A and B are shown apart, each in its own frame.
Chain A
Amino acid sequence: MLTLKCPYCGVQADETELHAGGEAHLTRHGPGSSDADFESYLFMRENPKGVHFERWRHVNGCGKWFHAARCTMTLEVFGTYPAQTTEPPKKIRDAITVKRPGWTWRELS
């Protein structure tokens, strides 16, 4: 069972109270962008075995979107953080480094 702490209301939310929102920190390429950028925005997703960053919505709760850093293999949660950011905060990245030295995810490490 996956439980994530909602950074907005502080509830330890069970997976079934949440709605998965896919990969986090995508850059939206809309009208006027190149075909390659638009394609990668629409279709290209990470599918890592290990550290991953995801969006979740606390749907049976406060209703807010937030981000979570977790391990896809062990379900270990490294941390959750509010969605008003374009990259994981340093605290989260440091927490991952402690648990998974040498981790990489897209251009992050």
Chain B
Amino acid sequence: MSDPVLPLGGTQYEGLVDVREAGPQGMIALRGNLADASLQEAVTSLTGLPMPDMRGAQVLGESGVLWMSPDELLLLVPYRQAARVCAQLSEALQGQLALVENVSDMRAMFRLRGTQLRDVLAKLAPVDFARDALPVGELRRTRFAQVAAGVWFSDDTTAQVFCFRSVAEYMFNLLCTAADPDAFVGFHAG
């Protein structure tokens, strides 16, 4: 198997928050009837995580289940296991109207760390980033400036941002600009 190549080679930036390109991250897109018991069983047994509620992000380490839309989940698995999990999931869902696809190389992912996280993100997306509006463990799909993106907080000072691979550099530049040390806001602090 060839070695995975990160879109930006694992680049990083330290400013108001630490921006670090994460990955490679195995990702599996799953579309189907999320209320179906056998689908839920397959997802929970393969990832070892509970089904997320609406907009939920159940993530533990490199594994996770992200609620993308009423009929779509994004499963996070370790990169090397993606193909195997994808095959197992397809088999478990045989006979059902469901789509399973290994999309590990489709996206870029960034890990943001810092106390000014919510201020930095609020510069880029038309989203209320207050702690009670976007709590830890909730996925928000939105746009960052001109590109589609998803973001969730894994704890109060850590967020994961993902976007399409083709706009990885644009996204990294955005995040760096928003995290410029001279652009302190201090609105969401405390």
Report which A residues bind B (CB closer than 8 A). 8-12, 14, 16-17, 59-64
Contacts and interface: CB of A to CB of B under 8 A. Distances in A.
A11 B55 contact: yes
A63 B140 CA distance: 13
Contacts of A61: 69, 141-142
Given A14-B126, A16-B126, A17-B126, A9 B69 contact: yes
A67 to B, nearest CB: 16
A103 to B, nearest CB: 30
B141 A60 contact: yes
A53 to B, nearest CB: 22
A9 B143 contact: no
Interface string B59-94: 000000000111010000000000000000000000
Contacts of B148: 59-60
Nearest to B143: A60
Nearest to A64: B69
Contacts of B70: 8-9, 62, 64
Contacts of B68: 62
A8 B141 CA distance: 13
B170 to A, nearest CB: 15
A60 B142 contact: yes
B54 interface: yes
B41 interface: no
Interface string B135-172: 00000111100001000000000000000000000000
B143 A16 contact: yes
B141 A62 contact: yes
